[in-house]
Each structure stands twice: as structure tokens, then as C-alpha cells.
Chain A
Amino acid sequence: MSDLLSISPLLVTAFTGMLVMALDLLAGQGRKAFLSWVTVAGFAVAGILAYVLWSGDPVVLQRPFLANVMLLDAHGWFFSEVVLLAGALAALLAADHMPEQGIDGGETYALLSFSVTGAILLMVATDLVTLFLGLEIMSLALYVMAAGKRSSPFSAEAGIKYFLLGGVASAFLLMGMAFLYGATGKLNLVDIARFLANHPEGADPLLVQGAMILLVVAMAFKVAAVPFHFWTPDVYEGAPTPVTAFMAGAVKAAAFAVLARLVLTLARAPAFQGTAFSPADLLLGLAVVSMVVGNLLGIVQTNVKRILAYSSIAHAGYLLLGVWATQASVSETGVQTLNDSVPFYLLAYAVSTVGAFGVLALLGRSGEEDMSLSRIAGLGRRHPVLGVALLVAVLSLAGLPPLGGFMAKFNLFRQVLAADPAGNLPWVILAVVMSVVGLYYYLRIVLYAFFREPEGQPVVAISSAAGSVALAVTVALALFLGIAPAKFLDASRMASQATVLTGSIAASRAGAAPVQTATPPAAAGIQLKPGVQIPVRTFNSKEGRGNLH
């Protein structure tokens, strides 16, 4: 299989963005809605390609410059599908929402495509530079999209806030990567992990620990975990609603995918053994405060978008708990793999939260930005279809059966408990209690939508065929994930087993297909003087991924 084909999902999403930009020029003013369908088509093609190409064993890349920086496996596949799904749904929701709010350009779809491209690159990257660039592409496009609503100062504020704070988080991430590079002299995650395992004396533990803290903090910012969550409610509220949907659904999935891969891959290093610092404690701490703070602050919100933002924070807490409670791998002794149900949880969460924001995206005429609870009063009576979609989404977020959110939460907690029945019980109990607390604000949305009469001018729904399709998909999926989750749970298991990168996987695979062992230095294109090595070459030589075929 040619490499170009192997990475085609990435190329297709990037190409979709450029195609949309070109078509944007051709399309007349006010006729840009079809670009949404172009984007969806592009994402669908990418999704299918990813399914065909990536869902099995890890793809063997011939070119070292690809094999060194990315790993196309079930991990990348599953999370890419989640991101593509959330992206496609956001594009559909944007089709009529954006013109209504005075954002009539096609650039939203182009940026959305680029953001998705960045997210996929981020999730398949094994090289720290590539990973960082993926994150930046994803984020930069989001900053602009968040500020996309020209007429609204809130939107501008959301964009600039997200940009500035995201910049701080990126700085943390970059610093963490610099520490790792300083400690190991390598940029490839597998190489780093193997170096840390094989040369415990070579890497300064303090640097590695510092790197771990910085990486976790930066990713905790992206997944909106407490105490790095402050931007979340403001940005979720200010950004155009379809963009918020994408942010909540796709970015969270991508960020968690990377968080889990980075932390769990590095956490085995000897640098963390026998010291006061353990990455697990850090994750657990973040998980606990996120669950508690997210749910408690959710209670006092009066704006639906802010409620959902705090819900997003609380869900980050449950997910961190899932990432924290690794389980013994089936394949290798001693290696912990990501909790089986975390990928499934992210899928279910993405579907539900996009559904909830999707309903809000279809509410409100031009300039109506206020999404207070009182504004959705009586929604169930005036727009029963939207009401039901909101109900399904919100109840799924709350984790009530028979919806996907329930299956996700149930499996996640079950797996956390299974990892260590006695030790983890208090945390699972806390998570369950916090879920019950969360029920309060979820049900408040339901209460307002179905049992309150509107005061004053009720919010009006905009008619949107594309948006209806998106909502139908979220409702159907939320139900399907709850009723017949078996296939998805299998896929989730596959993804989670691929999440943690292990050196031995690379080694065993190189042994199985011994092609091009010891890539000649010339192949890397670097003229070397005899006996002299340059630092970058450690990257694809003896231990490098260049052997991976």
C-alpha cells in the first residue's frame, strides 16, 4: 500500500478545506450553505478511508519521514472518526445558523476542515514537533472560528480569550517537550519512552517529571479540566454555537486521545518510580477537582451554553478518572493500557454534546445570542422535534439509560472499578455522587424546555434542513450507542489497546518484517563525516522508527 494512500484521510480533510476556499470564491453572496455539504462529503470520504485503512493492524509506512512521525493505528482511527463525526455535524449545524448570525462566508468550513486536519495529525503523531503542529493547526483555526461572529463583541472576546490562554497552554506544552528533548535528546515518543526505560541513569528525573507536569497541564487546559478550565464557559458561550459544538465534541476527543497517549506512554518511565511525584496522582487530582467543581458550578448557571460548558468540565473529570485507572494489558505483562471505555465515552459524549449544542444552534434569530434557561422555556411545546432532540442529548449527557451516555458512564465506572476494586471504589462513588449532582442542572434544562411557560418573547427556531439531519443523526446515535453498543465497545477496546505506545511493539514488528534494517544515513539525506553523528540522526537510526515496515 502506498504511503500516499495510507495518509489519505489527512490529505482529504486538508484538501476539503482548500476546495471549500476555492468554491467560496465562486459561490455568490448568501449561497454558501452548499459548502457545508461539501465539507461533510469530504469528512465522510476521510472517515471511510480511515476506516478502511487504519482500523486494522497499524499501517506500515514505507517512507522513514512518515514512519518516524506518525503511527496510523486503531487509536488514530477511532479518535479520527469521532473528530470527523463531530466536524461533519458541526458543518451541518453551521449551514443555516451562520448566515442567520451574519457569518455568510465559506471560511468557517475551510477553517473547520483545517481544524479537523490538525486534530487528526495531532492524534496520529508520534513525533513531538508534529504533534505540536497538529495541536496548533487545530487550535488556531478554532480561535478564528470562535471569533467568527462579526456583529458580536462576545464572539470577539471569546476568540481573543481562547487565543491568549491557548497561547499560554501551548507555551507550557512546548516547554514540556523541550524538557523531554533535553532529557533524552529525542523527539519521537516511542524513542523517548524506550530511552527512558533503557537508560534510567541517562535522563534527569527532575526534567522528566517537570516535562510530565507541563504536558499534563497543557493538555488539561485543552480538555478543560479544573483548574485550567476558566476559559471554557466564556468561550463556549461567546463562540458561534456550531463552533462550540465542535469544540466540545471534537477538541475534547482529540485532546484526550493525546493526553492519554502522552501520559500513559511516558508514565512507565523509571523517572517516576520511587519518587514523590506520580503522574497517576496528578491525573486523579485533576479528575476529582474537575468532577466536583464542574458539577457544583453547573448548578448555579442560568445560561444553557454555560451549563453545558460546566458539563463539559465535569465530563473531563470522569474521563480523567478513566485515563487514570489504567488496566493491565492483555498482551504484555507489566504494561498498562488505557481503560477500554474511554474512547467509547468520548464518542458518546461527542454525540450528546453536539446534539445539545445543535439544538441551541437552531434557536434564535439574527443577533439573538442570549441562551438563558428562561429563553428555552416552552421549547418542548412550540418545537417538539427540537425539544425531543434536546431531551435525548441532555439525558444522554446526564447518563440516563437507554442512551449512549449511560452506556459510556456505566462502562467507564465499571472498568475503573475493575482495575482495582477496593482501591478505586471511593473515587467511583465520588464520581457517581457527582453524576447525581449533575443531574440537577441537566434536569433543569429539561424542566425549562418542557414544563415552563415562556416569559416574554420566546426564542424562535430557524428552519434548517441540514441542521435537522445533524440532530437526527445525534439522536439516532445516542439511542443506538445506548441500545446496541457492542460493536462500538469492541472498536473502543481496539483503540484503547493501541493508545499506549510501547517500544516492544515497534521492535517485534520490525522483526516480523525485516525490511530496510539500519536505514543508510544517506537515505536520510544527511552527509556525515565518519564517526560523527548529529543529534537528529538518533531519530531514525538504530532505535528509530525507520525500521518499522
Chain B
Amino acid sequence: MSMPSIETLLVVVVLAPLVGAVLNGLFSRFLKHSTVSLLGVGAPVVAFAAALLAVIQWLPLRASLPDASVTVMLFKWIEAGPIVIDASLYLDPLSAVMILVVTGIGSLIHLYSVGYMHDDSSYARYFSHLNLFTFSMLLLVLGRSLLLLFVGWEGVGLCSYLLIGFWFTDMDKAIAGKKAFIVNRIGDFGFLLALFFLLFHLNGTLDVPSLRQAVADPTSVFNTDTAMVTLVTLLLFVGATGKSAQIPLYVWLPDAMAGPTPVSALIHAATMVTAGVYMIARLNFLFVLAPVSMAVIASVGAVTAIFAASIGLVQNDIKKVLAYSTVSQLGYMILGVGVGAFGAGVFHLMTHAFFKACLFLGAGSVIHAMAGEQDIRKMGGLAKKMPFTRWTFLISTMAIAGVPFLSGFFSKDEILFKTLTYHHVSGVVPEWLSVVWFALALGAALMTAMYMFRLYFLTFSGEQRDHHAHPHESPATMTIPLVVLAIGAALAGYLGLPDPSLNVWEHLLAPVFGAAEESILATGSHALELGLMGVSTVVALTGIGLAWWLYRGAGQQVPARIAASMSGLHRLLSNKYYVDEIYDTLVIRPLKAYAHFLWKWIDVGLIDGIMVNGPARLLSAVGGAGRRLATGDVQGYAAALVVGLAVIVFLFL
């Protein structure tokens, strides 16, 4: 049997989850529980297999392909005058990596969900939404046109909303879903504006490869109208701050933990939240033309990284810690792409997908075992009772903390290196700013190591502090994904070793980022990079050591003392810098008051009262008079026909 073509396989990749979503969504009433599982898990697995086959075929061919890419034209979507938009899929190194991550990790999380959601009454709805999410995410990643990407972008937002509010009978969870949706909409608005500017003020195409070609032409509008490019890239970045949870729009992500834990793992750690990073990487050629935007992006990323990490230090809910950790790590990725290290940013995206998904699933396993308890202060001593969960969690924790030779170490290190050397290549960024970013990132790394090991120690080591629950290891459907992900978390980093000859990753992604990265090639030496590795190793180990001392060793009284002596700071951190409250006062309340005014005075009074009901009453009166003409009398109707003819004859002849 010959292998299906890459084109066919790509269509399968996208459609399989959609089919799963439709079948489980519409026909769940007629399906058995096991069939729902089979469909729900089968869809992403089929997609993964197809993606794998497609990539395997594509790998040897790619040198001979233009931009190492394959395009599948599905249908002509929009044709309005000069604007022609196709619905087509686009496989290139970047999307190849992304579809493998999305379908691969997605499959594992779907499998895990079989165990985790087993007893839920809305089992089929869960899988339907999760499949729909996978479909949207794949559309986002594979869309050749930015508009198709935007469809996926909105689709994942919708699914995120549906899944955060999955248990919508709980009001808080429904509200968390709404919050996520609304905050995301703000970002989407920026994105959409950027698309409009691209379409109507720049060269009028949303097709990514065409944009890239246009940018390459030095006389094109992109190279002459820097102000517009800066505006567009900043608006795009507004979109990214929404989806990738950066300051100031990160507030929805911690609340998003209201959804089922596998959802947090898939959507709010591994895939959807990286969409912003992906989008910036996808449009790298555009962003490098706007150094000011790049500086803004890097600054926001660096600040977000340390800001979220500092909040993570004092959180007690296991999922909240991971949520802030995700925000912080996303900050890292944003910092990476902001300093032009697109490959490194996406590299961190991939390694993060492994270890963070593993951590979330581990957390889910713990919560499952603790009968729904999420407060780490009530846990402890789970190491013996849950060996699989414990070891996989430990590996991932080490990976995220940056322990040498695990995946997080390599990817984080590369970002740090590029950050420190960025001022050499950017005309805008002074050296001190580079250094500040570097310092912030390093501080974030220290805190990451601390709060992650705090989490680990409080959860797994010591004695169980609360004896209500009877923890036990989770079923195989849950532990198998953990093990696979932990292996990934440990080894994925070896794709991007810090030696040019060994760095498979950069070699692979060169067709996408090569030109952009070359234009801002870092001039730092190899020695500096190795030196920085030493520094970050020290930082990571320091963080781990501190965590050991404070939560396992002699210093166990210290946290309480610090909290007491610096109660202001502690309160500030515990309350997450009061950001939600500030937003509430500054944005939400005035908006509500304004909306109330619009509703009561403009809508009900002016529009409904005068402008709508007025004409409607008038029209009703006219219509009522006209209705009396339709008497139902057939002779009358025939007479009316003649009258009509007579009128026409008299008017025209």
C-alpha cells in the first residue's frame, strides 16, 4: 500500500478532530460510553498519526521545496474585488513542529481525560469540546492565510471558554469562563485591527508567504512605512498578550484553572496560550522591521516573567501555582521572540509544552487522589503512595527549574543568551536595557526554581498533613501519558544543543527564521553562551536549595517569619498585586456605569422609544390599513389584477 500524499494527510490531520467533535457533539445520545471514548481519543490519535506520516514524508523532501513548505488549497474562500483569500493549509518547519506538539501532546491528554473525566455526566460534551479545540488549534497552526489563522484563533478562544465553564452550574466557574472570553476579546480586537491595517494600508494580502515575499522587497511599503509596520506589529502583539496571557491581559489565565485539569494542561499550558508566541514567530519577518515593537515585546515578556513568578511564590492552590508559572514561562517565550530569538522562543514553547503538560496532569492526578483537594498545605507525603506521579512530577519540576541536561535548561538558556547580546544588534535597545531584561529573566529563573520545588516538597515529601483523603495511584490511562510526557520533558532539549553543529532545531527551522535571525545575528561568543550556562545552573541550584531549606530543611519557620515581618509585601503578593481589583475600579465599573447610561437613556429612551417603536407604530398603522385591502375575495383579486394593468397602461402608454 502506498502512503497517502502529504496533502491528503494534512487534510486528515485537520478533519479528524472535527469529525470527532461533530459525532460526539451531535450523536452522543446514541453512543455508548466506550464509543464516546474511542471517538474522543481516536480523533487526535488519528490526527497525530497523519501528522507524523506527513512530517516523515516531508522531512527528506523539504530541501527541494520552496521555503521548505507544502500548501494544500482547500477552496477559494473569499473573493471580493482585489482581495482574494484562499482556505489553504500550509506545512512548513514551524507548523510541522506545532502540529506534532498539538496532536502528540493532545492525544496524551485526551487519553488521560478518559480516566480523569470517567464519571462526569457530560462526558461526551467534554470530548466534543476538546476535539473541537484540537481542530481549531490545528487550523490556527496550519492556516496559510492570517484570516484562517484568525478563525482558529477565535475557535480556540471559544473552546477555551466552553471548557473553563465546563461545570457551568457552578457560578464561579461560569464567570471564570466569561472572564477568559472577554479578556481574550480585547486582544482579538487588536489582532483584527492589525489584519485590517495589513489589508487596507499595507500591501493588501493576508497570505503569509506572500507577505514574506513582499517584505523581502526592499522597496516595498513595509520597508518604507516603518510607522505603520510598528503600529501593525504592536496591534498584533496586543492580540498575543490576550491569548498568551501577558501583562496587562494575563488576568484570565489563573482563573481559567476552574476548568477540568486536563483542559488546563492542554489549553492553558501546552497549546492555546502559546498561540501568541506562535503568531509572532510566524510573522517574524514583519516584527524584525519594527525594532520599537520588538523592544516593547521583550520588555513586556521580561516583566511578565518575573511578575508572575513572584506571585507564584506564595500561592497555595496547586493549579494556581502552575498557572502563574505558565504566565511566567510564557513571558520567557515572549521575551525570546522579542529579542529576535524566534527559534529559541519556539523551542522553549515546545519543551514547555512537555513539562507543563506533565506537571498539570500530575497535579490532576494528585487532585484526583486527594478527592478534589487543591490546597498544597493540606497535602504532603504523597511520594510513596503515588510513585508514577511523583517521579514524573519531579522530572518535570527539574526541567522547568532549569536543572542541567533536562529540556528546560537548554531552551531557557538560549533565551537568556540572546537577551544579553541583543543590544549588539538592535539599533534601538541600549545595553543597559538588555542587561535589565537579562536580570529580570534570571530573577524569574531563580523564583521559578524556588516555587516549583516548594510545590514539589509540600506536595510529595514529608508526611500527609490532612488525613481526610486516602490517596492512591491513578489508573493507567492517566499514568501512561505522565510517563511519556516526562520522557519528553527530560529529552526534548537535546534537539537544541548549544553547539551549532549539533543544533538540530535551528537547522530545521532555518527556512522560517533564518533570514530574520540573520538580519539581527547575535554576535556573542560561544564562550559567553557556555559561561551563561554555568550562571543559570548556579541560579537554578540556588533556588532549589532555598526551597529545600525553607520547606524541607532547617528553615521551615522562616517563611512564616518573613510573612510576618514583611506583611505588606506578603499581602501584596498573596493578592496578586491587586490587579483584578485595580481593573475592576478603573475599567469595569466605569464601563458598567457607561453601559447602564447607554441602556437606560440611549437604548430604551431614545432608540427603542423614539427611533424604533415610533416608525414601527407608524408602519404598523400603514400595514394595518393595507391589510384591509386583502379581503380574500377572489373576484376582488381578479379586479385588482385588472386595476394593476390599467394603472400601468395609463402610466406608460
Give 1 or 0 for each of A202-213: 1 = CB within 8 Å of chain B CB.
000010011001
Q: Is the CB of A227 within 8 A of B623?
A: no
Q: Is the CB of A213 within 8 A of B648?
A: yes
Partner of A213, one of B76, B616, B623, B649: B649
Q: Is the CB of B644 within 8 A of A228?
A: yes
Q: In this assembly, does A534 line the interface, its C-beta being within 8 Å of a C-beta of chain B? A: no
Q: Is the CB of B623 within 8 A of A296?
A: yes
Q: Is the CB of B623 within 8 A of A165?
A: no
Partner of B634, one of A161, A172, A210: A161
Partner of B644, one of A209, A217, A437, A486: A217
Number of A interface residues in the complex (CB < 8 A):
41
Q: In this assembly, does B641 line the interface, its C-beta being within 8 Å of a C-beta of chain A? A: yes
A72 to B652, CA, bound (A): 34
A55 to B653, CA, bound (A): 40
Q: In this assembly, does B599 line the interface, its C-beta being within 8 Å of a C-beta of chain A? A: no
- Using CB atoms, name the residue of chain B closest to A234: B632
* B183-197 residues at the A interface, CB under 8 angstroms: none
A547 to B76, CA, bound (A): 40
Give 1 or 0 for each of A334-350: 1 = CB within 8 Å of chain B CB.
00000000000000000
Give 1 or 0 for each of A156-196: 1 = CB within 8 Å of chain B CB.
00001100110011001000000000000000000000000
- Contact (A169, B616) CB under 8 Å given A213-B652, A282-B648, A293-B626: no
Chain A residues closer than 8 Å to B645, beta-carbon distance: 172, 213-214, 217
Residue of A210, A299, A301 with most chain B CB atoms under a 10 A cut-off: A299
Q: Is the CB of B623 within 8 A of A230?
A: no
Q: Is the CB of A160 within 8 A of B634?
A: yes
Q: In this assembly, does A450 line the interface, its C-beta being within 8 Å of a C-beta of chain B? A: no
Q: In this assembly, does A281 line the interface, its C-beta being within 8 Å of a C-beta of chain B? A: yes
Q: Is the CB of A484 within 8 A of B77?
A: yes
- Contact (A300, B620) CB under 8 Å given A213-B653, A277-B653: yes
Chain B residues closer than 8 Å to A489, beta-carbon distance: 79
- Using CB atoms, name the residue of chain B closest to A385: B26
Q: Is the CB of B627 within 8 A of A300?
A: yes
Partner of A486, one of B79, B640, B643: B79
Q: Is the CB of A221 within 8 A of B652?
A: no
Q: Is the CB of A165 within 8 A of B649?
A: no
- Contact (A486, B76) CB under 8 Å given A227-B647, A277-B653, A437-B619: yes
Chain B residues closer than 8 Å to A228, beta-carbon distance: 640-641, 644
Q: In this assembly, does A233 line the interface, its C-beta being within 8 Å of a C-beta of chain B? A: yes
Chain A residues closer than 8 Å to B643, beta-carbon distance: 227
Chain A residues closer than 8 Å to B622, beta-carbon distance: 296
- Contact (A165, B637) CB under 8 Å given A217-B644, A299-B619, A300-B627: yes
Q: Is the CB of A169 within 8 A of B641?
A: yes
- Contact (A209, B652) CB under 8 Å given A217-B645, A228-B641, A297-B623: yes
A234 to B645, CA, bound (A): 21
Q: B524 CB to closest chain A CB, in angstroms?
A: 50
- Using CB atoms, name the residue of chain B closest to A172: B645
A486 to B76, CA, bound (A): 7
A8 to B587, CA, bound (A): 69
A214 to B645, CA, bound (A): 8
Q: A114 CB to closest chain B CB, in angstroms?
A: 25
Chain A residues closer than 8 Å to B632, beta-carbon distance: 234
Partner of B616, one of A210, A230, A276, A440: A440
Q: Is the CB of B641 within 8 A of A221?
A: yes
A301 to B554, CA, bound (A): 83
Q: Is the CB of A282 within 8 A of B623?
A: no
A407 to B649, CA, bound (A): 36
Q: A347 CB to closest chain B CB, in angstroms?
A: 17
Q: B151 CB to closest chain A CB, in angstroms?
A: 10
Partner of A300, one of B624, B636, B644, B647: B624
Q: A367 CB to closest chain B CB, in angstroms?
A: 21
A213 to B77, CA, bound (A): 42
Chain B residues closer than 8 Å to A277, beta-carbon distance: 652-653
Q: In this assembly, does B630 line the interface, its C-beta being within 8 Å of a C-beta of chain A? A: yes
Chain B residues closer than 8 Å to A165, beta-carbon distance: 634, 637-638, 641
- Using CB atoms, name the residue of chain A closest to B643: A227
A231 to B644, CA, bound (A): 14
Residue of A206, A217, A221 with most chain B CB atoms under a 10 A cut-off: A217
Q: In this assembly, does B75 line the interface, its C-beta being within 8 Å of a C-beta of chain A? A: yes
Give 1 or 0 for each of A449-487: 1 = CB within 8 Å of chain B CB.
000000000000000000000000000000000011011
- Using CB atoms, name the residue of chain A closest to B648: A213
Chain A residues closer than 8 Å to B652, beta-carbon distance: 209, 213, 276-278, 281-282
Partner of B75, one of A213, A233, A299, A486: A486
* B595-638 residues at the A interface, CB under 8 angstroms: 616, 619-620, 622-624, 626-627, 629-630, 632, 634, 636-638
Q: A165 CB to closest chain B CB, in angstroms?
A: 6
Q: Is the CB of A296 within 8 A of B634?
A: no
- Using CB atoms, name the residue of chain B closest to A411: B80
Q: A277 CB to closest chain B CB, in angstroms?
A: 4
- Using CB atoms, name the residue of chain B closest to A486: B76
Residue of A164, A210, A483, A484 with most chain B CB atoms under a 10 A cut-off: A484
A206 to B79, CA, bound (A): 45
Q: A479 CB to closest chain B CB, in angstroms?
A: 13
Chain A residues closer than 8 Å to B648, beta-carbon distance: 213, 216-217, 282, 285
Q: Is the CB of B75 within 8 A of A230?
A: no
Q: Is the CB of B619 within 8 A of A230?
A: no
Chain B residues closer than 8 Å to A234, beta-carbon distance: 630, 632
9 chain-A/chain-B pairs, Cβ below 8 angstroms: A160-B634, A161-B634, A217-B645, A217-B648, A227-B644, A228-B644, A233-B630, A234-B630, A299-B620
A residues lining the B interface (CB < 8 Å)? 160-161, 164-165, 168-169, 172, 206, 209-210, 213-214, 216-217, 221, 227-228, 230-231, 233-234, 276-278, 281-282, 285, 293, 296-301, 437, 440, 483-484, 486-487, 489
B residues lining the A interface (CB < 8 Å)? 75-79, 87, 616, 619-620, 622-624, 626-627, 629-630, 632, 634, 636-638, 640-641, 643-645, 647-649, 651-653
